[in-house]
Structure 1
Amino acid sequence: MKSKLLALIATLVVLLPAGVAANAAPSEPAYQAMNAQSLWDQGFTGEGTTVAIIDQGVNLTHPYFVGQIIDGYCFVEATSSYRCPNGTREQLGAEAASQRKIGSLYVATEDHGNMVAGIVAGNPTNEAPGGIAPGSDILMANVDLTLSGILAGLRYVDKRKEELNIVALSMSWGGYFTEIPREWLRCDTNPELQQMAAVLSSLRKGGVIPFASAGNTPTLDIATSLFPSCLQDAVAVGSVNQATEVSWYVTMSDKVELLAPDYAISANTFSYVRSSGTSAAAPLVAGSYALLRQAFPDHDAEQVLSALKASGKPINDVIRKSIPMVDLRAAYLLLSNTAVGGVIAPQPSAGQVLNVGTFNGKIVVYAKGYKGQTLSWRIAGKWQKVTVTKDFQAFDRLTSAIGLTVTIDLYLNGVTPAAFSKTVVTK
């Protein structure tokens, strides 16, 4: 059995020149695209939450990370020539999060951990905007990205989730197997990944949502998607560019649940970079999720995640349509109008209309902007289900009498849109 080396998921990054004019966090276009300002204005910065990251370490002396790393974990498998910062193969505590050094010098090329951690919760500085959730703490699992290292990091995060109030896990790396039986291509039945799947399941049951980069190879078959993003309990995150289009390189499949910008400014070993790749999108979603968990502490983890997806701005790809891009203002409004434990209902976006009326003894359901989606409704105990095939379409059904009062419960893709139960009088 051969396992292809795990790769950090990143694309080209551009160094920023020294002496960049001071930026406040709202000036970051990636954050503006997600309407983060609407939560910051209300004082929500992620305070009281922790986001765990499995990646390389960070430069603990970098201004972005001073005071931000609440805990760290390092693991290096026995066959590796590397060591943890204290010279051992396993280390706990904040110092374990340190980026690798040779002697006293940081290995500057191993700066991926700085980029992803900075997007989550970097301190705002005169040169860069800080993370999207600068009030959150970070648990940095600095592992060698072998299967044994990843599992060790996942188990440490799972162990500390309650004590540190870990709400999200960000993973911006991936791998896949070669020379395996064909049936193992499906992640959740691959025996090599069963332990990883089990820990991710434990995290979600414990209120921690694992976000994983979808990958930067434009492969269309979900069976070839990278792990961990292909695992059931990992939320796969794709990216959009500055034109708010799905980035050309995204490994797209039905598993991609959310989109986020790929171009936020973040840290490298000694300075700052403009990030790219789905590596940048996953921590941006994890940090956004932490903001909402602070804002709605009584709503459970899955309810907040559902709101993030249901309220997202739909983006069309050449492969899939209406993939939600995170919109924090819309998610906040949706959660504000949803009771604790209530069902999160999908919200119509601009140009989408659902309505019900009567005409010539018929009940008519109108749908605009829902092409390709499934509508179903119940009238007098009888169900009707249709697929919308046009941008604007009407569906009608005869009723038994004029002047009849009828209540119609309308469902979109199996879920009731917000407050959509309508009573009409047939005419």
Structure 2
Amino acid sequence: MAKRILGLLSAALLVVIGLSTPAQAAPIEKAYEAININAAWSKNILGQGVTIAMIDQGVNLQHEYFDGQVVDGICVYQTNNTATCPNGTKFQTGLAAASQRRDLRGALIAEETHGNMVAGIVAGKPNSVAPGGVAPQAKIVMANTDMQPKSVVAALEYFYQNREKYNIVAVSMSFGILGLTSRQDLLNCNTNPVYTEVRASLKKLREVGVIPFAAAGNGFYLDSVESWAPTCLDEAVSIGSVDENGQISIYNTMSTKVELLAPDYAISAATYGYMQASGTSAAAPTAAASYALLRQQFPLHSAQTVLEAMKVSGKKIDDVVRKQIPMVDIAAAQKVLESTPVGGTPVDPNPTPVTTKKVTVGSFNGYIAIYVQGYEGSQFISRIAGKWISVSSLKNVTGKPYALIKRNTGAGYDVKVEVWIDGVKQTLNTSGQPASQVLVLRTR
């Protein structure tokens, strides 16, 4: 079975920044400003009392960024992997199990720094070089695994068993498992038998209010069918990434599964020193830790209510594949939750206007006119009197809510009209005739 951690799927940009000077204040982090972090921090909502569980490569437990932040760990490797846990076996629990791997000389494998990067974004301790995590006073339970399905299941089960002990409210996962047994698996990962146990474990966590967040991946594909678990599974919340310009990151694997966006460029921990993060790997812990802050602030709301508030409140960002994808915005989510009764459903304070989709055909002075409403940006194809017209991207008439396509036909003819939008044949409307997919008009 092929497998891959998001060190590949979500390659972090390793830029070592240096060591801290405790006497100086933590720097301002633009990635955190982009999610309006001060709306929580100014109220002393810093993650006190909540824990985020993570599945990754483990962390440098001696790093100043994680002093007192990691409270427990689990290490799981399958027998077909040559790696071992810190105790020399394939399975270990306890704080020491959270450590990243060491080489034969006993030194930390510096290039395996992915776990430090994602954990630092969740709950790093602020210092003069790095801003700390999104939830700097939250705690971390870290799973150090080989990302194989059985290892992931073992980690998820450990989180489930210890959820009340540590008050685990979220799981952050920035890796990918690819296990294909048929073409059906590629087209719908939820039916893939390789992921059955992973799905069951994620479902158990969701049912007790622990929300799993997963990085969407960095596949450079547009409108791809996402087949990497856990992000492709219904039980996981798939997180895409936004760059410093507020745009969807160029490498983002975008699909209809992506539910939230978050920045991908915060300063975080490397194995030694610090680095600038990158990849959807960085977006997933940002979203998970933001969610944890909201859970801390609004303990009476259910886990699903808090998640829905994040999804309906964030600024909507358009991609070339999808439109109106919400970005994490703590201040906006706070306002929604403040106005949502306990047990109620969060409501989008700025709902996207519903645009009526309609195609209307008319005949005027020797030409056929087609008015297309609600399909701006879509592909248009029509056949009028046997002649084809194609428009790759519809554009509305300036100041009007519709696009207009004309074809001269001359007057006094019966003209057959058909229209396809994004490959789907449309029902056509015209004055004095029933709506139909094929219209025959007498030109005048």
Normalising TM by the smaller chain, what interval?
0.7 to 0.9
Q: Which residue of 2 aligns with 1:409?
A: none
CA drift at 1:393: 8.7
Within 5 Å, give how 1:24-423 maps onto structure 2.
24=25, 27-102=28-103, 103-178=105-180, 180-185=181-186, 186-221=188-223, 223-348=225-350, 367=353, 371=355
Q: Which amino acid aligns with 2:18?
A: A
Q: Which amino acid aligns with 2:2?
A: S
Q: Which residue of 2 aligns with 1:13?
A: 13
SS of aligned partner of 2:246: coil
8 Å CA contact retained: 1:166, 1:208: yes
CA drift at 1:150: 1.2
SS of aligned partner of 2:166: coil
CA drift at 1:18: 3.2
Q: Which amino acid aligns with 1:49?
A: V
Aligned length: 362
Q: Which amino acid aligns with 1:80?
A: N
Q: Separation in 2 of the partners of 1:235 and 1:373?
A: 30
8 Å CA contact retained: 1:262, 1:280: yes
Q: Which residue of 1 aligns with 2:404?
A: none
Q: Which residue of 2 aligns with 1:398?
A: none
Change (3 A) 1:81 1:389: closer
Q: Separation in 2 of the partners of 1:195 and 1:66?
A: 34
CA drift at 1:24: 4.6
8 Å CA contact retained: 1:187, 1:223: no
SS of aligned partner of 1:346: coil
8 Å CA contact retained: 1:26, 1:37: no
Q: Separation in 2 of the partners of 1:341 and 1:74?
A: 38
8 Å CA contact retained: 2:27, 2:130: no
- Computing the radius of gyration from Cα coordinates, the structure with the larger value is 2
Q: Separation in 1 of the partners of 2:130 and 2:277?
A: 12
Q: Separation in 2 of the partners of 1:236 and 1:373?
A: 29
Change (3 A) 1:24 1:389: farther
Q: Separation in 1 of the partners of 2:210 and 2:20?
A: 36
CA drift at 1:101: 1.2
8 Å CA contact retained: 1:316, 1:323: yes
Q: Which amino acid aligns with 1:166?
A: I
Change (3 A) 1:4 1:87: closer
Change (3 A) 1:373 1:200: farther
CA drift at 1:225: 3.4
Q: Separation in 1 of the partners of 2:19 and 2:173?
A: 31
8 Å CA contact retained: 2:51, 2:139: yes
SS of aligned partner of 1:212: strand
Identity of aligned residues (%): 48
CA drift at 1:248: 1.0
Q: Which residue of 2 aligns with 1:418?
A: none
Q: Which amino acid aligns with 2:265?
A: Y
Q: Which residue of 2 aligns with 1:359?
A: none
CA drift at 1:87: 1.3
Give deviations 1:145-179, integer Å, cap 9, x for gaps. Answer: 1222111111111111122111000000113234x
Q: Which amino acid aligns with 2:51?
A: T
Change (3 A) 1:393 1:208: farther
Change (3 A) 1:339 1:145: same
Change (3 A) 1:5 1:14: closer
Q: Which residue of 2 aligns with 1:3?
A: 2
Change (3 A) 1:125 1:372: farther
8 Å CA contact retained: 1:219, 1:225: no
SS of aligned partner of 1:170: strand
Task: List runs of 5+ in structure 2 lacking aligned partners.
Answer: 359-372, 377-395, 402-444
SS of aligned partner of 1:64: helix
Q: Which amino acid aligns with 1:253?
A: S
CA drift at 1:232: 0.3
Q: Which amino acid aligns with 2:142?
A: M
Change (3 A) 1:316 1:144: same
SS of aligned partner of 1:101: coil
Q: Separation in 2 of the partners of 1:249 and 1:149?
A: 28
Change (3 A) 1:235 1:19: closer
Where has structure 1 moved over 6 Å in runs of 4 or more? 19-23, 390-394
Q: Separation in 1 of the partners of 2:235 and 2:218?
A: 20
Q: Separation in 1 of the partners of 2:112 and 2:19?
A: 24
Q: Separation in 1 of the partners of 2:17 and 2:113?
A: 17
CA drift at 1:227: 1.2
Change (3 A) 1:371 1:226: farther
Q: Separation in 2 of the partners of 1:314 and 1:65?
A: 34
Q: Which residue of 1 aligns with 2:369?
A: none
Q: Separation in 1 of the partners of 2:19 and 2:60?
A: 20
Q: Which amino acid aligns with 1:196?
A: V
Larger mean CA deviation between 162-171 and 15-24 belongs to: 15-24
